[in-house]
C-alpha cells in the first residue's frame, strides 16, 4: 500500500518547506532536485548515494516501523529520521504498491496526474465520498485569466527580454537554461501578449458578462495572432522560460507563476490535454465540452482598499464532467467506482459522468 501526498505535507527541506505558495514551492523543489542541491533528494536517489538503499526498500522500512501500513505522518517521520526526501520516497512506493491512496485532483487533473506519474493502465479507481466529483471533474480541466494576468505575463516577458539580451552580450553559460531561445524569440512572445492585452480590453460584454460556445476560444485568440502553430510554440518556449525564472530565486519564481498559468491554458486549448492536434478536430471537442465566458470581476480592491477594482476575466470552463471521467477511461482504467452516502438520485449523476453499467444502493 502507498499514500501519495503533497510537498506541503512531505517536504522537509528547511527553506523550501517554509514557502507558502504551492507553485513556488513545487518549482523551487524541482530546481534543487535538478541542480542536485537538495541533500534529502540526493540521499533518496540510489544512483547518487548507495547508502540511500537502506531507506528505499519499503518492505524493510515497514518492518522496522512495526507496521504494514504507512500513512502520511509515518512517511514524513521516516524521511526525517533517515534524512531522505519523504515526497520522493512516497512516489517510489507507488511502483511497488497494489493499493494507492491519493487526493482526487491527482487523478482528475491531467497536469497533476502527469507530474505525479500516476499510472492508470489496467487500474481500478475508487472515488470515496464522491458527492463532489462532478464539480471537481469540471474544475480540473477549466481555467480563467484576467486582463491583469495578461499584463503581468507581458511585463515578465519584457523583463526576460532584457535578461536574455544581457546574457547574450556576456555570452553567459546561463543561456543554456533557455534551451536556445534568443532575446528576439522572447520579444516575439512579449509582443503577442501585448496584442492579447488589447483583445481582452476591447472585448464587449453586458453587465452580466457574455458567453460563447467553446470553439470561440480559437477565434478569440486569433485576434491576437495566436493560432495553433503559435500556441504550440508558446507551449514549447514557456517551459524553459519558467524553469529559468524558478531557478533564479523566490522573486523571479513568483513572476514565473503567471507564465505557468498561461502555459497550462495553452496546453488545454492547443492539445497537450486533448488527443487531437489540428484545429478542425479541436473545435468540436471545445464546442461539446466547454464554454467561453467573459465577465467583469469586482472582487479585487485597490492597494489602499478604498476603491473596488473592476477587471475583465476570460473563462474557459468545462461544463461536461463526463469529459474528464472519459479521459480516465482513455488512459486505460479498467473500472471506475464511485461511492458515497449522498449520491442519490443515481441516474442524473451517472448520465453526467458517463455510462456506469452497474448501480448499487441501499434502501434505508
> What is the band of 338 on the pLDDT scale with cuts at 50, 70, 90?
confident
Residue pair 340/131 in contact (Cβ under 8 Å)? The answer is: yes
Joined grid coordinates for residue 39 = 541533500
> What is the band of 30 on the pLDDT scale with cuts at 50, 70, 90?
confident
Q: What percent of the chain has pLDDT over 90?
A: 28
**SS3 (DSSP) at 245:** helix
- Across 168-176, average pLDDT: 79
**What's 299's DSSP letter?**
E
Three-state SS sequence of 258-273:
HHHHHHHHHHHHHCCC
Three-state SS sequence of 63-123:
HHHCCCCCCHHHHHHHHHHHCCCHHHHHHHHHCCCCCEECCCHHHHCHHHHHHCCCCCCCC
CA distances from 345 to 87, 223, 245, 350 (A): 39, 45, 49, 9
* CA quadruple 270, 22, 150, 313: dihedral, nearest 10: 90
- In whole angstroms, what is the distance from residue 99 CA to residue 350 CA? 25
Which uninterrupted H or E stretch holds 295? strand 290-301
> What is the band of 96 on the pLDDT scale with cuts at 50, 70, 90?
confident
pLDDT in the model for residue 275: 41
- Across 283-297, average pLDDT: 82
Q: What percent of the chain has pLDDT over 70?
A: 83
Confidence check: pLDDT of 314 > 60: yes
Bridge-based pairing of strands 290-301 and 210-213 is: antiparallel
> What is the band of 171 on the pLDDT scale with cuts at 50, 70, 90?
confident
What are the pLDDT digits (tens) for 235-260?
999 988 988 887 776 667 778 888 98
Strongest mean pLDDT among 11-20, 291-300, 324-333: 11-20
pLDDT in the model for residue 274: 43
Judge if the upstream peptide bond of residue 345 is cis by omega within 30 degrees of 0.
Answer: yes
Identify the weakest region by mean pLDDT among 20-24, 189-193, 274-278. Answer: 274-278
**What's 273's DSSP letter?**
S
- Across 336-353, average pLDDT: 78
- Across 151-178, average pLDDT: 87
144 phi and psi angles, rounded to 5 deg: -145, 155
Task: State the average pLDDT for the chain.
Answer: 81
pLDDT in the model for residue 47: 44
pLDDT in the model for residue 172: 76
- In whole angstroms, what is the distance from residue 272 CA to residue 282 CA? 11
Strongest mean pLDDT among 140-144, 145-149, 341-345: 145-149
> What is the band of 276 on the pLDDT scale with cuts at 50, 70, 90?
very low
Strongest mean pLDDT among 112-121, 125-134, 174-183: 125-134
β-sheet bridge partners, residue 293: 211, 315
- Across 59-78, average pLDDT: 70
pLDDT in the model for residue 330: 83
- In whole angstroms, what is the distance from residue 168 CA to residue 183 CA? 8
More confident residue, 157 or 169: 157
Confidence check: pLDDT of 10 > 60: yes
**SS3 (DSSP) at 342:** coil
**SS3 (DSSP) at 214:** coil
> What is the band of 53 on the pLDDT scale with cuts at 50, 70, 90?
low
Confidence check: pLDDT of 58 > 60: no
Residue pair 67/108 in contact (Cβ under 8 Å)? The answer is: no
- Across 118-123, average pLDDT: 87
More confident residue, 153 or 173: 153
> Model-level pTM?
0.76
Strongest mean pLDDT among 9-13, 78-82, 286-290, 356-360: 9-13
Amino acid at each position: 500500500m502507498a499514500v501519495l501526498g503533497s510537498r506541503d505535507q512531505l517536504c522537509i527541506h528547511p527553506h523550501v518547506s517554509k514557502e507558502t505558495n504551492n507553485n513556488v514551492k513545487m518549482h523551487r523543489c524541482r530546481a534543487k532536485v535538478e541542480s542536485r542541491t537538495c541533500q534529502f533528494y540526493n540521499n533518496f536517489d540510489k544512483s547518487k548515494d548507495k547508502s540511500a538503499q537502506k531507506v528505499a526498500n519499503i518492505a524493510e522500512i515497514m518492518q522496522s516501523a512495526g507496521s504494514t501500513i504507512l500513512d502520511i505522518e509515518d512517511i514524513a517521520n521516516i524521511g526525517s529520521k533517515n534524512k531522505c526526501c519523504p515526497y520522493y520516497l512516497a512516489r517510489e512506493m507507488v511502483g511497488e504498491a497494489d493499493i494507492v491512496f491519493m487526493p482526487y485532483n491527482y487523478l482528475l487533473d491531467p497536469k497533476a496526474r502527469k507530474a505525479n506519474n500516476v499510472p492508470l493502465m489496467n487500474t481500478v479507481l475508487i472515488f470515496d465520498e464522491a458527492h463532489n466529483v462532478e464539480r471537481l471533474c469540471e474544475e480540473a480541466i477549466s481555467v480563467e485569466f484576467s486582463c491583469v494576468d495578461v499584463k503581468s505575463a507581458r511585463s515578465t516577458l519584457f523583463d526576460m527580454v532584457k535578461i536574455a539580451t544581457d546574457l547574450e552580450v556576456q555570452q553567459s553559460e546561463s543561456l543554456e537554461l533557455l534551451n536556445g531561445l534568443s532575446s528576439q524569440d522572447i520579444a516575439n512572445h512579449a509582443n503577442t501578449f501585448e496584442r492579447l492585452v488589447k483583445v481582452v480590453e476591447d472585448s464587449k460584454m453586458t453587465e452580466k458578462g457574455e458567453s460563447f460556445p467553446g470553439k470561440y476560444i480559437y477565434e478569440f485568440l486569433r485576434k491576437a495572432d495566436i493560432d495553433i502553430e503559435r500556441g504550440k510554440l508558446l507551449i514549447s518556449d514557456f517551459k524553459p522560460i519558467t524553469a529559468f525564472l524558478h531557478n533564479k530565486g523566490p522573486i523571479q519564481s513568483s513572476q514565473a507563476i503567471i507564465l505557468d498559468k498561461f502555459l497550462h491554458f495553452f496546453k488545454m486549448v492547443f492539445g497537450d490535454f486533448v488527443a487531437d492536434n489540428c484545429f478542425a478536430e479541436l473545435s468540436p471537442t471545445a464546442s461539446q465540452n466547454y464554454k467561453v465566458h467573459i465577465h467583469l470581476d469586482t472582487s479585487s480592491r485597490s492597494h489602499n482598499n478604498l476603491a473596488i477594482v473592476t477587471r475583465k476575466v476570460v473563462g474557459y470552463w468545462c461544463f461536461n464532467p463526463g469529459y474528464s471521467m472519459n479521459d480516465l477511461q482513455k488512459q486505460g482504467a479498467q473500472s471506475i467506482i464511485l461511492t458515497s452516502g449522498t449520491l442519490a438520485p443515481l441516474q442524473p449523476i451517472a448520465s453526467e459522468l458517463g455510462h456506469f453499467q452497474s448501480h448499487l444502493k441501499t434502501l434505508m
